[in-house]
């Protein structure tokens, strides 16, 4: 039986859904750089890296840092585009 990611627990660690998705994507990208496979071997099954990232966020294994620098970059991109 496959499990589901701990989305509701992970949402409690961030301010909104966007931050959860952004943090999960950043961590998944890091995992993909280590290995091209989309899965991580768990105890009994293969786990998608996106599920793994969300669960790590929910379990507070990953520190989330939201910086204003990222917001400034986004504002500059909007102005130039």
Report the alpha-carbon distance of residue 48 to residue 80 in Å, rounded: 36
Owner of token pair 């130039």: 80
Joined together, the tokens standing for residue 33 give: 């750089």
pTM of the model: 0.69
Mind listing the pLDDT tens digit of every residue in the chain (81 residues)? 357 888 999 899 888 898 888 888 888 898 899 888 888 887 888 888 888 889 988 988 777 666 655 544 344 444 333
């Amino acid at each position: 039986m496959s499990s589901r990611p701990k989305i509701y627990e992970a949402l409690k660690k961030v301010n909104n859904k966007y931050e959860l998705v952004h943090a999960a994507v950043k961590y998944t990208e890091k995992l993909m750089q280590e290995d091209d496979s989309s899965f991580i071997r768990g105890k009994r099954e293969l786990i998608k890296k996106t599920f793994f990232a969300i669960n790590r966020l929910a379990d507070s294994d990953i520190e989330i840092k939201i910086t204003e620098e990222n917001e400034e970059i986004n504002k500059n991109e909007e102005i130039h585009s």
